[in-house]
Structure 1
Amino acid sequence: MVLYRLLVSIASLPVLAALLWRVLRGRESRSALAERLGGGEAAPHRLWLHAASNGELTSAKPLIYALLTADPAVQLLVTVNTVTARELGQGWADPRIAIRMAPLDHRAALRRFLSRHDPRALVVIENELWPNRMALMADAGRPIFVIGARMSARSAARWAKIGMAQPMVAQISALSAQDAGSEARFVDLGLPRDRLMPPANLKTAITVAPGVPLDWPRSDTVLAASTHEGEDAPILAAFATARARRPGLRLILAPRHPRRAPEIAALIAKAGLRHTTRSKDEPPTAEVYLADTLGEMGRWYASAGLCFVGGSLVEKGGHTPYEPAGFGCALLHGPDVANFAEAYAALDAAGGARLCETEADLAAAFTALDADAQAEMARAARGALGPPADVESLAKALLTRL
């Protein structure tokens, strides 16, 4: 821990400089920066819940409202790491939920944050385990809960190697793992078994509003969902190849970060394709629709019979298969699905998803998977992923431990 604190102190000046640069460029507000430094409007006597970004916050939402239902007196301080997640949470417009940027994992910022907000307990979603944050909460005698905990074999080995795993795990009051593998790895790192809560994958409980689907034939529509830099070009090349063989094919391209829209538009043109753009309110009249907005994924899932899940052709660990599967999409993914390894293994084994490692694999899938094949894959996916998490029981179990 001493080495970690030293490294954080050394890194604090360049991190602060980077944040100030974001403010100057208009990518972040002064109030967001103040919150990262432990300031902002006080929200005292609340249960502190932390979710990293849009995906984690969305998966936490059913649990958040289960907590508020189980105990109407509960008020939540929800922290996030990204501006877009802050905006997403503020959009809920719920007076029982205060949304703030998470404080940096620097002891000065954290002490300011804890003094200002005085949270009674910390609920961590998935794998946001920050050493200084956890240590100061533990030192104050405040319980720490980890819900939907996720720990890959690679991360477990890394934590064990640097010697910080056991002290951090010892500070966890109770943990509900996302899957059996993650649970076993936390136990191997020193978590006592009597601190285990029933497993829960919060992403299985997500309900996404469908919105109005595009007026395109669903079985001829491909969705590239939450793509990252390095994925769009091979997807577009594969789509162009498939469209030459299947002329009615359409593509909805929904990047993980909408700010990348200009560079993606250039890639679309380079692939010899036409497109229109959602953020410009242009109608979907071309073969590619650039869905560069937030909060409309349900609409895109409802519009597409075939969904490539982004973050899997590059080393991002892959995004959730649960949302597109819930909409009856046939699933495609790349080789890096470490974030949902067990889910994708079950999907692949059942025929509910297909691994596409290359541009040629994608082109073949886009070409061959017709309406009947998509429907069969969707049925297999529903069976492989199983029932949604029981967030009501989880919320009650968590509240009894406060």
Structure 2
Amino acid sequence: MRLVWRVLRGVESRADLAERLGGGAASAPGALWLHAASNGELASARPLIEALLRRAPGRRLLITTNTLTARALAQGWAELRIEARLAPLDARWMLTRFLARHRPAALIVVENELWPNRLVMAQARGVPVFAVGARISARSARRWRKIGLGRRMMRALTALSAQDPASEAEFRALGLPAKRCLPRLNLKTAVAAPAPAEVLEWPRAATVLAASTHAGEEVLILRAFARARAARPGLRLILAPRHPRRAAEVAGAIRAAGLAFAQRSAGEPPEAPVYLADTMGEMANWYASAGICIIGGTFAPKGGHTPFEPAAYGCALVHGPSVENHAEAFGALDAAGGAWAVAPEALGPRLIELDARQQATLARAASAALAALGSHDGPNALAREILEKI
């Protein structure tokens, strides 16, 4: 019913709904089906996508995503061998329809898009199934074991490349044989930072970015920012919620904090202390504009968003306690002095401390710590392993 309501409200078209129900135009049979949830996951998979296309010049790629913006991102690459669709929901009749319509040669899922029907039904039809950059928290693994889902899903996998050692250990404990483990790869370590289209004319060392925030985080961050700004009057804040549809809610929180703000989606000039960056596809602009980045999803129980992207732009990284989505990366950053792990109540004072010299020190340490985790040849090697198993 929610999907029908989105069509009635004009958020999605009838054609979009058809794709989510497993319909829409059929792609050429024999394509590699790659599924990524949204923009971040798809962008991180691009080096792997390019490696697959380069190593298999006769293959086509069918990319599915959960969001309209990610589908548009894939379409915007203008690669003739790529077709992009919205992903079918994880229901048996929709997947039956999708698999019959597209007849893919293999399924490649990115990060934690491990949906039981999708994996099991593909495997049952003889379609090899690969998980790349796969991650799972200890809590999710316990839930999978409790409901008896883990072993069934692990049997459906042809091979899995985990994002980090902890995730690989959890997948092994769920029943994934060692011989099905591919070399570990965090896809985000191989992504080149895109050039910003625009940089705010604010002093970078006095600009804080709260990147990809969730409900509950904005109030905390605004309170800390107001406290820091009382001591550093030139301090500015770019507030970029994870979901721009929450813009009205976030705007209300800014007003409640007693702070003046400008709104990106309204085309307002960034002349107030707070800039509400409530648009999609512009994070490169905000990373390049800010000397300090508060990483969203770390002050709410969301597991934390990627530290790789802000580090690539030389931001000083600040995060809260919820970091399990990128535990290895945050552990390396904290150990190397490349990020500050901050308790919620200490966020304001820490923003006061982070001057230009401290920011530069953190940024250098972050770059070195994250470089040690990654291998730029990883996507190419992973593409070779996948193609050999198809």
**Considering the TM-score relative to the shorter chain, is it more than 0.5?**
yes
**Is the deviation greater in 202-211 or in 218-227?**
202-211
Q: Which runs of 5+ in 1 are unaligned?
A: 1-16
Residue 203 (structure 1) aligns with: 188
Q: 2:383 aligns with which of 378, 383, 395?
A: 395
Moved more, 55-64 or 389-398: 389-398
Deviation of 1:286 (Å): 1.3
* Matches of 2:221 and 2:77, distance apart in 1: 33
Per mean C-alpha deviation after superposition, the further-off stretch among 44-53 and 63-72 is 63-72
**What residue is the counterpart of 1:345 in the other structure?**
331
Residue 236 of structure 2 corresponds to residue 250 of structure 1: yes
Q: Determine the structure 2 residue equivalent to 1:312.
A: 298
One-letter amino acid matched to 1:38: G
Matches within 5 A, 1:147-158: 147-158=132-143
Counterpart of 1:71 (choices 44, 56, 64) is 56
Letter of the aligned partner of 1:117 in structure 2? Answer: H
**1:41 and 2:29 are equivalent in the alignment:** no
Counterparts in 2 of 1:121 and 1:201: CA distance versus 1, 3 Å: same
- CA–CA separation in structure 1 for the residues paired with 2:327 and 2:301: 13
SS of equivalent to 2:160: strand
Structure 2 gaps of 5+ residues are none
> In structure 1, what is the equivalent of residue 309 of structure 2?
323
Match of 2:111 in 1: 126
1:263 aligns with 2:249: yes
Structure 1 residue 388 displacement after superposition: 4.2
Q: Deviations over 1:3-48 (max 9, x none)?
A: xxxxxxxxxxxxxx12111211222221111111110111132100
C-alpha distance in structure 1 between counterparts of 2:310 and 2:135, whole Å: 21
**Contact 1:209–1:299 (8 Å) recurs in 2:** no
**Structure 2 residue identity aligned to 1:273:** L
Aligned residue pairs total 385
Q: CA RMSD in A?
A: 1.4
Contact 1:126 1:150 survives alignment (8 Å): yes
Cα distance between partner residues in 2 of 1:228 and 1:131: 27
Partner of 2:262: 276
Note the alpha carbon deviations across 1:73-103, whole angstroms, 9 max, x for none.
Answer: 2211111112232233223232221111111
Structure 1 letter corresponding to 2:387: L
Amino acid paired to 2:286? W
**Paired residue secondary structure (1:129):** coil
Aligned mate of 1:362, from 344, 347, 350: 347
Residue identity over aligned pairs, in percent, reads 59
Instruction: Determine helix, strand or coil for the equivalent of 2:199.
Output: coil
Pair 1:97 & 2:82 matched: yes
C-alpha distance in structure 1 between counterparts of 2:244 and 2:288, whole Å: 20
Q: Name whichever of 313-322 and 349-358 sits farther off.
A: 349-358
CA displacement, residues 26-71 of structure 1 (integer Å, 9 cap, x when unaligned): 2222111111111011113210001112221121122111211222
Secondary structure in structure 2 of the residue aligned to 1:295: coil
TM-score normalised over the length of structure 1:
0.93
Distance across 1 between alignment mates of 2:150 and 2:203: 51
Letter in 1 for 2:53: L
Q: Does 1:135 align with 2:120?
A: yes
CA deviation vs aligned residue, 1:301-359 (integer Å, no higher than 9, x gap): 1111100010111121110000001111111112111111121122112211112231x
Structure 1 residues 216 and 373, CA gap change in structure 2 (3 angstroms): same
Q: State the distance in 2 between where 1:365 and 1:43 align.
A: 52
Cα distance in structure 1, aligned partners of 2:16 and 2:298: 30
Q: Quote the residue 1:27 is aligned against.
A: 11
Give the aligned partner of residue 117 of structure 1. Answer: 102
Q: Distance in 2 between matches of 1:242 and 1:26?
A: 42
- Any residues of structure 2 matched to 1:294-309 within 5 Å, and which? 294-309=280-295
- Residues in 1 aligned to 2:68 and 2:91: alpha-carbon distance in whole angstroms: 19
Q: Are 1:103 and 1:109, in contact at CA under 8 Å, matched by a contact in 2?
A: yes
Mapped partners of 2:44, 2:312: distance in 1: 14
**Deviation by residue 1:154-173 (Cα, 9 ceiling, x = unmatched):** 11111111112112101111
2: CA distance, partners of 1:116 / 1:105: 16
